[in-house]
Amino acid sequence: MSFSLALDVILVLLLAVTIAYCVLLNRRLQVMRSAQSEMITLIQEFDRATVQAKTGISDLRQAGGEIATRLQDQVKRAQALSEDLSFMIDAGERMAEKLDGRMQTARRAANPAASVEPRGVGQNVEPGETPATPRSEAENELLQALRRVK
């Protein structure tokens, strides 16, 4: 065997190894290219999802602001109604006290022989006095209504 033949055989073997390595490298590059297209598709889907999420968040913020505004309006109306009801309750209590006082005056005028009449339901009872008990069904209903409101 001559030196040139041996060198040719070595060169053929090295070329065969290089070709095998190039084929292997080509396969890996193909896999990487196909993965690259999948990656691009994945990134595009992720971008769409991100845009949808941003839109959803802005919609939620807008809806939250509208709800907060409505809630504030309702709270203001509720406070106004509460103040109105408080005023009406106070006025009702004053009217009940006046009615009770007039009823007591009328009873005293109708029955002057009675010694000391108990004070009215809406009036303060002093020590030693017995509190008044309602005499009619209307008085009972009025007292129950006032107690429920308190």
Whether pLDDT at 116 is above 70: no
- Does 130 score more than 70 pLDDT? no
- At residue 124, the pLDDT reads 57
Q: Which of residues 136 and 67 earns the better pLDDT score?
A: 67
Mean pLDDT of 73-87: 93
Q: What is the pTM of this model?
A: 0.41
Position 125 scores a pLDDT of 55
- Given its phi and psi angles, is residue 128 left (phi above 0), alpha (psi -120 to 50 degrees) or beta? left
**What pLDDT, on the 0 to 100 scale, is given for residue 146?**
79
Q: Has residue 13 got a pLDDT over 70? A: yes
